[in-house]
A and B are shown apart, each in its own frame.
Chain A
Amino acid sequence: MNRYPPWANILVALVILGGVLFALPNVFGDDPALQITREDGSPVTAMTVPGIIAALDEGEIEFVEAALDDQAALVRFPDVASQLRASEVLGEALPFHIIALTLAPRTPAWLRFIGLEPMSLGLDLRGGVHFLYQVDLESALDQLVQTYAQDLRTRLREETIRNTGVEIAGGDTIQFGVQDAARMDEAEQIIRILDPLLVVNRTTVDGQPGFQVQLSPMQVTERQNFAIQQNTITLRNRVNELGVAEPVVQRQGLNRIVVQLPGVQDPSQAERILGATATLEFRLVDSENDAFEAARNNRPPLGSLLRFQRDGTPVLLRRDMIVSGDQLTDASFGYSQGQPAVFVRLNSQGASRMLETTQANLRRPMAVLFIEEKPELVERDGEQVLRNTREETVISVATIQGVFSSNFQITGLTPFEGQDLALMLRAGALATPILKVEERTIGPSLGQDNIDRGRTAVLTGFLLVVLFMAFYYRVFGLTADLALLANLVLIVALLSMLQASLTLPGIAGIVLTVGMAVDANVLIFERIREELRNGNSPQASIRAGYEKAFSTIADANITTLIAASVLWVFGTGPIRGFATTLGLGIMTSMFTAIIGTRVVVNLVYGSRQVERLAIGGSRA
């Protein structure tokens, strides 16, 4: 007799039922949809929905449903064409809103209510843009060392300690010599007070006793982490401004940030906004000196900067800045008297500076300087290093007509630039330059193709294996087929539960699992056949087959799991997707192939006298 205790049967049934439940949300498919949020981050209210419906009706665009979904409005469409048209129409109809293309799952409400969701699809299946940015940690450190050097210079001057000059001696080392050897202790004290974490060494500089000051390893790590975190936050803000549903912005490894934008179809725009660092500075114009003269000699007078307008006209600017971009609290784009304009608001500190300046300088010209930094690879000591090139352009020179403080507008930009600038001012600046080191853009049609191909490959492979097993192992083959089906359901259920994104390599992992999962059953069934050949009774053969094959199956699967884990640990993106499904598949297959089939076999043969088993093979 071969019987499992009732609890084992119940356990298997429960696991399978749970699997079916968790896998269920995946059978309903998606609608192309638009997610509408407000630019300022406040929630969309029910008041917006009638406006959306009216705009869509006016544009004669078909839609399935328009409703509130959490903090956003969600509009579903029957096809991608109407989704794209609606995106344009709504973009015009709803100013101050962000409209993002997305896929909305058709999961019924009761499933969503209990928190069940379909698998999330990777970019290669749903289309979108993947960027990998490298943060220039070296320049983050440089900035810090510069600050310390500057502070040291000031402090030494204040204490009148005469020195050979505070210099940065390559890397993160600052050094200087002290002319009066008696004041060495005092100088050291200054450094220690500046930051007790700095590593201080006494040495000889230019024949004088002096100091070598270095960042401690802790400061280095802290600074690097800060640079990455700050950039991650800025990138996240910018992504939010772009209007993308379910974006991913996260750190990867020591100095990389990965940005994934599902559904984005214009990588150029996304890239321009993510990677750029644009900011503004407001300065008074130096009208006492001749700018053209200065431009001819390329020598601006003391206290002034020489800059150029778009058309090449030179302008002299006062060295003292009134307000810079980081004192802006808000910026939006619009039109003022037919001209594209960026409306800005300053924080209180900036506002009071602006108030003072405008009061004191009525009828004098003020300039807006547009600063753009672009990362660039340059050759240094035979190595490629990331450096920023800075472009400064005067975008407008206007006479101060009245006193103003926190709110004003800037003109002199094209509509295109105005929109981007407003967005970047809102999202904040990048602390350290970043360089794109990888991009993968997948068009929406390729994504759908990949889904279709993946599905065909899985289903065809599954069907062939099912037929093969049924033909070769008869009734036992059918139990293996049931196990295989249960295995597929469990993999899908686990992927939905973990919300790990499914990618094309992930599908390949599932296909491979389908082929390899039957191995456990093959081992068991071959063993049973062998036992039968050796003259054992059917019941004893079943028992022996399952028992003796177990350690072999475990060994074989553990080694494959080792390979999958190594892939998971070392791989990123596609490789990790493959490793995930392969690893999950192996684990679920152990359960379904060993325990699952045993339950079925016991139910079929377990409680009766059996003369022969339908397991195929010549003498069975």
Chain B
Amino acid sequence: MLSPTLNIDFMGKRRIALVLSAVVVLVSLGSLVTRGLNFGLDFTGGDLLEIAYAGEADLADIRAALTEEGFDNPVVQNFGTVSDVLVRLPPQEVTEGGETRDRVIAALQARDPSMELRRFEFVGPQVGEELTEQGGLAMLIALILIFIYVMLRFRWKFAAGTISALVHDVIVVIGFFSIFGVGFDLTILAAILATIGYSLNDTIVVFDRIRENFRVIRRGTAEEIINASINQMLGRTMITSATTLLVLLCLFLLGGETVSGFALALIVGVFVGTYSSIYIASAAALALNVSPADLIPPKREEIDDLP
């Protein structure tokens, strides 16, 4: 059980945390620039087939069959089990995906009639481009809306703290996918937006307590009050992260290959989001010299400001 009298000096270690975060963000950015992302079909366009065989699938043979059929550089790999295969083809010259599908099936069926097509996806280049644009736009709009909301509820220093935490989270989660080369598709993008929601949730809860404590505890420096607030909310932060991670692990392990990437992104997101609400959001607010006046909602403050 977590002791209710915990008093960890979170803010005292904020410089170490800052260095750590800076390193992780830089590594993430570096990897994004040099390695990029292993974009999925949704973004690149092309064809994807999931095929189930009765027995163990012979990947080399499948690859040979496809090359023979005139498909260059097919990506053939197992998908979940040894008898399931995922075939990915880059966008073809003939952009009507149906023909590709029929040719691949015919070629593979000729070698092993036990094959069963479980899934076929074709995404034209037009759609891929659009999705990439839309995804980036969605992320930006979410951040702006959230900034406005937090501004209205907490004033700008905390909004700035929140947004820096969210940007940090997004970079690190995307960086994770870049560094480990995990496939990045549309569902991952959704997971990142959900991460933004989750991390924000955490940040807001801590900020709420900081605001309350600024009002209740009149003595003490901003640093002490922030520390106390984080410690008070630590139990809740841990429990909520634990239950969320529990269900995400279920999704990751039991939900099948299609949602495992999604679950993974959220798992990384929960860790990063929890960390960032403590170190990035609070530390940023502290660095901006947050004072009680910055926390009390605008209406109250206007009255306080009157000469």
Report the number of A-B residue pairs with Cβ-Cβ less than 8 Å: 233
Contacts of A377 in B (CB 8 A): 95
- Whether A453 is near chain B, meaning CB under 8 Å from some CB there, is yes
For chain B, what secondary structure do more than half of its interface residues adopt (helix, strand, loop), or is it mixed? helix
Q: Could you tell me the distance in whole angstroms from the C-beta of A153 to the nearest C-beta in chain B?
A: 35
Q: What would be 22 A-B contacts, judged by CB atoms less than 8 Å apart?
A: A268-B98, A272-B98, A438-B127, A443-B118, A445-B116, A461-B246, A515-B247, A516-B201, A522-B243, A552-B205, A555-B204, A556-B201, A556-B205, A560-B198, A562-B142, A562-B197, A564-B194, A566-B145, A569-B138, A578-B190, A582-B194, A619-B4
Give the number of chain A interface residues (Cβ < 8 Å).
79
CB neighbors of B among A451-503 (8 A): 453-454, 456-457, 460-462, 464-465, 468-469, 472
User: C-beta contact mask, A257-288 vs B, less than 8 Å → 1, else 0?
Assistant: 00000000001100110010000000000000
Chain A interfacial positions (CB closer than 8 Å to B): 124, 132, 134, 267-268, 271-272, 275, 375, 377, 384, 435-443, 445-446, 449-450, 453-454, 456-457, 460-462, 464-465, 468-469, 472, 504-505, 507-508, 511-512, 514-516, 518-519, 522-523, 526, 529-530, 533, 548, 551-552, 555-560, 562-564, 566-567, 569-571, 574-575, 578-579, 582, 616-619
- Whether B259 is near chain A, meaning CB under 8 Å from some CB there, is yes
Q: Could you tell me the distance in whole angstroms from the C-beta of A445 to the nearest C-beta in chain B?
A: 6
Given the interface contacts A465-B247, A508-B263, A518-B240, does A560 sit within 8 Å of B200 by beta carbon? yes
Q: Give me the 7 closest cross-chain CB pairs, A-B, nearest first.
A: A563-B197, A461-B247, A437-B124, A515-B247, A515-B244, A570-B138, A560-B197
Q: Is the CB of B247 within 8 A of A562?
A: no
Contacts of B12 in A (CB 8 A): none
User: C-beta contact mask, B255-280 vs A, less than 8 Å → 1, else 0?
Assistant: 11011001100100000000000000
Given the interface contacts A377-B95, A457-B250, A508-B262, does A529 sit within 8 Å of B4 by beta carbon? yes
Q: Pick from A272, A453, A504, A578: contact of B254, CB below 8 A.
A: A453
Q: Is the CB of A575 within 8 A of B250?
A: no
Q: Please, how many angstroms separate the alpha-carbon atoms of A557 and B266 in the complex? A: 17
Given the interface contacts A460-B254, A564-B197, does A515 sit within 8 Å of B246 by beta carbon? yes
Q: Is the CB of A566 within 8 A of B141?
A: yes
Contacts of B245 in A (CB 8 A): 515
Contacts of B29 in A (CB 8 A): none
Q: Please, how many angstroms separate the alpha-carbon atoms of A449 and B255 in the complex? A: 10
Contacts of B263 in A (CB 8 A): 508
Contacts of A472 in B (CB 8 A): 239
Write the chain B residue with the least CB distance to A484.
Answer: B243
For chain A, what secondary structure do more than half of its interface residues adopt (helix, strand, loop), or is it mixed? helix
Write the chain A residue with the least CB distance to B208.
Answer: A552
Q: Please, how many angstroms separate the alpha-carbon atoms of A83 and B221 in the complex? A: 74
Q: Is the CB of A559 within 8 A of B243?
A: no
Q: Is the CB of A571 within 8 A of B205?
A: no
Q: Could you tell me the distance in whole angstroms from the C-beta of B83 to the nearest C-beta in chain A?
A: 12
Given the interface contacts A508-B251, A508-B259, A563-B196, does A579 sit within 8 Å of B190 by beta carbon? yes
Given the interface contacts A518-B240, A522-B239, does A559 sit within 8 Å of B127 by beta carbon? no
Q: Could you tell me the distance in whole angstroms from the C-beta of B26 to the nearest C-beta in chain A?
A: 26
Q: Is the CB of A559 within 8 A of B200?
A: yes
Write the chain B residue with the least CB distance to A620.
Answer: B4
Q: Please, how many angstroms separate the alpha-carbon atoms of A504 and B96 in the complex? A: 27
Q: Please, how many angstroms separate the alpha-carbon atoms of A134 and B10 in the complex? A: 55
Q: Please, how many angstroms separate the alpha-carbon atoms of A26 and B276 in the complex? A: 41
Write the chain B residue with the least CB distance to A445.
Answer: B118
Contacts of B138 in A (CB 8 A): 566-567, 569-571
Contacts of B244 in A (CB 8 A): 512, 515-516, 519
Contacts of B135 in A (CB 8 A): 570
Write the chain B residue with the least CB distance to A455.
Answer: B254
User: C-beta contact mask, B183-215 vs A, less than 8 Å → 1, else 0?
Assistant: 000110110011011101100110011001000
Contacts of A450 in B (CB 8 A): 256, 258
Q: Is the CB of B243 within 8 A of A443?
A: no
Q: Could you tell me the distance in whole angstroms from the C-beta of A12 to the nearest C-beta in chain B?
A: 23
Interface core residue of A272, A436, A441, A582 (most chain B CB under 10 Å): A441
Q: Could you tell me the distance in whole angstroms from the C-beta of A532 to the nearest C-beta in chain B?
A: 10
Q: Could you tell me the distance in whole angstroms from the C-beta of B275 to the nearest C-beta in chain A?
A: 17
Contacts of A529 in B (CB 8 A): 4, 235
Write the chain B residue with the least CB distance to A256.
Answer: B127
Q: Is the CB of A559 within 8 A of B204?
A: yes
Q: Is the CB of A440 within 8 A of B120?
A: yes
Q: Please, how many angstroms separate the alpha-carbon atoms of A440 and B98 in the complex? A: 11
Q: Give the interface size class of chain B.
A: 35 or more
Write the chain B residue with the least CB distance to A480.
Answer: B243
- Whether B236 is near chain A, meaning CB under 8 Å from some CB there, is yes
Chain B interfacial positions (CB closer than 8 Å to A): 1, 3-4, 50, 52, 95-98, 101-102, 116-127, 134-135, 137-138, 141-142, 145-146, 149-150, 153, 186-187, 189-190, 193-194, 196-198, 200-201, 204-205, 208-209, 212, 232-233, 235-236, 239-240, 242-248, 250-251, 254-256, 258-259, 262-263, 266
Contacts of A522 in B (CB 8 A): 236, 239-240, 243
Q: Please, how many angstroms separate the alpha-carbon atoms of A438 and B232 in the complex? A: 51
Q: Please, how many angstroms separate the alpha-carbon atoms of A462 and B254 in the complex? A: 13
Q: Is the CB of A445 within 8 A of B262?
A: no
Q: Please, how many angstroms separate the alpha-carbon atoms of A6 and B256 in the complex? A: 46
Q: Please, how many angstroms separate the alpha-carbon atoms of A464 and B242 in the complex? A: 11
Q: Is the CB of B240 within 8 A of A563?
A: no
Contacts of A438 in B (CB 8 A): 122-124, 127
Q: Please, how many angstroms separate the alpha-carbon atoms of A272 and B99 in the complex? A: 10
Contacts of A465 in B (CB 8 A): 243, 246-247
Contacts of A619 in B (CB 8 A): 4
Contacts of A523 in B (CB 8 A): 205, 236
Q: Is the CB of B255 within 8 A of A454?
A: yes
Q: Pick from A460, A526, A618: contact of B250, CB below 8 A.
A: A460
Q: Please, how many angstroms separate the alpha-carbon atoms of A457 and B153 in the complex? A: 36
Q: Is the CB of B193 within 8 A of A445?
A: no
Q: Please, how many angstroms separate the alpha-carbon atoms of A449 and B141 in the complex? A: 36
Q: Please, how many angstroms separate the alpha-carbon atoms of A579 and B95 in the complex? A: 31
Q: Please, how many angstroms separate the alpha-carbon atoms of A472 and B242 in the complex? A: 12
Q: Is the CB of A575 within 8 A of B243?
A: no
Write the chain B residue with the least CB distance to A576.
Answer: B190
Contacts of B212 in A (CB 8 A): 548
Q: Could you tell me the distance in whole angstroms from the C-beta of B143 to the nearest C-beta in chain A?
A: 9
Q: Please, how many angstroms separate the alpha-carbon atoms of A469 and B121 in the complex? A: 41
Q: Could you tell me the distance in whole angstroms from the C-beta of B188 to the nearest C-beta in chain A?
A: 11
Q: Is the CB of B247 within 8 A of A514?
A: yes
Q: Please, how many angstroms separate the alpha-carbon atoms of A571 and B193 in the complex? A: 11
Write the chain B residue with the least CB distance to A579.
Answer: B190
Given the interface contacts A530-B4, A563-B142, A570-B137, does A437 sit within 8 Å of B250 by beta carbon? no
Contacts of B232 in A (CB 8 A): 530
Q: Is the CB of B126 within 8 A of A556?
A: no
Q: Please, how many angstroms separate the alpha-carbon atoms of A117 and B236 in the complex? A: 39
Contacts of B116 in A (CB 8 A): 443, 445
Interface core residue of B116, B153, B205 (most chain A CB under 10 Å): B205
Contacts of A134 in B (CB 8 A): 124, 126
Given the interface contacts A456-B254, A571-B138, does A533 sit within 8 Å of B4 by beta carbon? yes
Q: Please, how many angstroms separate the alpha-carbon atoms of A525 and B235 in the complex? A: 11
Given the interface contacts A461-B246, A505-B187, A515-B244, does A443 sit within 8 Å of B95 by beta carbon? no
Q: Please, how many angstroms separate the alpha-carbon atoms of A555 and B119 in the complex? A: 41
Contacts of A512 in B (CB 8 A): 194, 244, 247-248, 251, 266
Q: Is the CB of A618 within 8 A of B98?
A: no
Q: Pick from B97, B120, B189, B197: contact of A575, CB below 8 A.
A: B189
Q: Could you tell me the distance in whole angstroms from the C-beta of A533 to the nearest C-beta in chain B?
A: 6
Contacts of A563 in B (CB 8 A): 142, 146, 193-194, 196-197, 200
